Amino acid sequence: MAQWVRTIAAAATSPYADSLNPAYGGGGRRVIARGPSLLLCGTTGTGKTHQAYGAIRSLTAAGCAVRWHAVTAADLYGQARPRPGVDVDVEWMLRDITRVPLLLLDGLGAAKSSEWTEEVTFRLLSWRGENHLPTLVTSNLPPVQSAGMPGRREVLRDKVGDRILSRLSGMCTDIEFTGPDRRFQRR
Ligand SMILES: Nc1ncnc2c1ncn2[C@@H]1O[C@H](COP(=O)(O)OP(=O)(O)O)[C@@H](O)[C@H]1O
Ligand SMILES: [Mg+2]
């Protein structure tokens, strides 16, 4: 996680660093350009969302002028779903979220999935993957069934499909969160 923050911060460039006018050299705040993405997986309450926001905070603290957006997958689908009487331009909203320099997509695979949610997620992740826009994805499900897993547990691949999983594995480094649910520990 800390390694990821360092990578992103190092890749962030000063807006005027390449300027021919030396008076502008390196003076500006650095902006996030491109960088790797992370897939944070682990059961509920293991601290994925907490860590994801922590990473965003570290980047802003490191002086990266970053425009970021955080949304849960469920809210994203809720907001993007065309509803009668609500006049939101869904394409524009999605376009905005897709292109934000730093995105946290929280709780992927938690919402009920459909062909439509898959399409929305696939387009979002494809574009961000192709353009190397840093994206933090969290999920309560492990990405795929692995040898050590007891029985037939539900995995992210079952929930979001092969296309999305393959996008994710192409663009993200996996980080596994383990441990008890922190929400219960504090009582
Ligand atoms: N490193 C931490 N230190 C203190 N509190 C934490 C830490 N990580 C998580 N928490 C708290 O534990 C609870 C669950 O964390 P959260 O990030 O929401 O888990 P997840 O997203 O994995 O379900 C939250 O109330 C959060 O504030
Ligand atoms: Mg969470």
pLDDT tens for the 187 residues of the chain, in order: 889 999 988 888 766 555 555 544 444 567 777 899 999 999 999 999 999 999 999 988 877 777 899 999 999 999 888 777 777 788 889 999 999 999 999 999 999 899 999 999 999 999 999 999 999 999 999 999 888 777 778 999 999 999 999 999 999 999 999 999 998 876 5
Residue nearest to atom 12 of ligand 1 (CA): 182
User: What phi-psi label fits residue 42: left (phi over 0), alpha (psi between -120 and 50 degrees) or beta?
Assistant: left
pLDDT at 130: 96
Residue nearest to atom 14 of ligand 1 (CA): 45
Mutate to test the pocket of ligand 1, among 182, 183, 187 (most ligand atoms within 8 A of CB): 182
Give which of 67, 82, 66, 58 is closest to 5, Cα–Cα. Answer: 58
List residues near ligand 1 (CB under 6 A): 42, 44-50, 138, 177, 182-183
- Residues 135/127, Cβ–Cβ less than 8 Å: no
Domains annotated for the chain, with CATH where assigned, are 33-181 (3.40.50.300)
Which one of the ligands is nearest to 108 CA?
2
Which one of the ligands is nearest to 51 CA?
1
Distance from the CA of 45 to the center of ligand 1, in angstroms?
6
